[in-house]
Amino acid sequence: GGIITQTPKFLIGQEGQKLTLKCQQNFNHDTMYWYRQDSGKGLRLIYYSITENDLQKGDLSEGYDASREKKSSFSLTVTSAQKNEMAVFLCASRRDWGEDEQYFGPGTRLTVL
Amino acid sequence: TQTVSQSDAHVTVFEGDSVELRCNYSYGGSIYLSWYIQHHGHGLQFLLKYYSGNPVVQGVNGFEAEFSKSDSSFHLRKASVHWSDSAVYFCAVRMSNYNVLYFGSGTKLTVEP
């Protein structure tokens, strides 16, 4: 078995601040994802990466940067935090190309003051 | 653009009841369909998926889903729910040869004693 770890669990920042969320997986999966989950809504894809140093934009990439420097880790940066992007950010990984099962971390809840 | 629609935001049933959670999609090509469950404060967990073959697929914990091409649907069912089934359920769609899942907005299932 494996696990996805997201840090921090809760992130509080000021409006306009640059904030970084981290995700680690020990599944040895190639593909990793960052989603944003707004309250009462579905998940929207921000970025994904199919291998180390690869980055692919999702539908919600504006205002975010991502980094995949190692196979096991995938970071997301909120470039200038806004109050309307308070949400839970979920990291996920997937074993193989074409595989539908994604494994999710517990999430980071972002609060912007 | 494909869409995934979960028409019921909330469903409440009693323990032992059967339940059906509805999912409709709009996409005419070859797709993969899946269901995920999210317990409060946790990430999503994979339940089951369908691509081809028998339109009824079995998942974990007694869940099953039925694909209907004519109705563009992939409804999730359970014959007898337990209080621990209380969670948010997400339907997801992926186009074949594509790396991204599109999620519905989720259905919150509450199982009362």
pLDDT tens-digit series, residues A10-63: 999 999 999 999 999 999 999 999 999 998 788 999 999 999 999 999 999 999
pLDDT confidence bin for B80, thresholds 50/70/90: very high
Q: What is the pLDDT confidence band of residue B2, given thresholds at 50, 70 and 90?
A: low
Please check whether residue B77 touches A, CB under 8 A.
no
Rounded to whole angstroms, how far apart are CA atoms A26 and B28? 36
Candidates B4, B44, B97; nearest CB to A104: B44
Cβ neighbors of A69 (< 8 A, separation 6 or more) are A52, A53, A75
Domain total in chain A: 1
For residue B17, what are the domain limits? 3-112
- Over chain B, what is the mean pLDDT? 92
Q: CA–CA distance from B16 to each of A95, B84, B85 (Å)?
A: 35, 12, 11
User: Hey, are the CB atoms on A43 and B44 less than 8 Å from each other?
Assistant: yes
Please state, for a pLDDT cut of 90, what percent of chain A lies above it: 83
User: For the domain that residue B78 is a member of, what is the CATH number?
Assistant: 2.60.40.10
Domain of A40, CATH number, reads 2.60.40.10
- The alpha carbon of B43 is separated from its chain's Cα centroid by a whole number of angstroms, namely 16
- The predicted pLDDT at position A54 comes to 94
Rg of chain A on CA atoms, in Å: 13
Q: How many domains does chain B have?
A: 1
Among the partner-chain residues A31, A43, A107, the one whose CB lies closest to the CB of B103 is A43
- The verdict on a CB contact (< 8 Å) between A100 and B49 is yes
Residue in B32, B99, B103 nearest the CB of A50: B99
Q: Do B99 and A31 touch (CB under 8 A)?
A: yes
**A42/B34 Cβ within 8 A:** no
- Residue A24, both tokens: 């680690």
What percent of chain A lies above the pLDDT cut of 70?
98
Find the domain containing A105 and state its range. Answer: 4-112
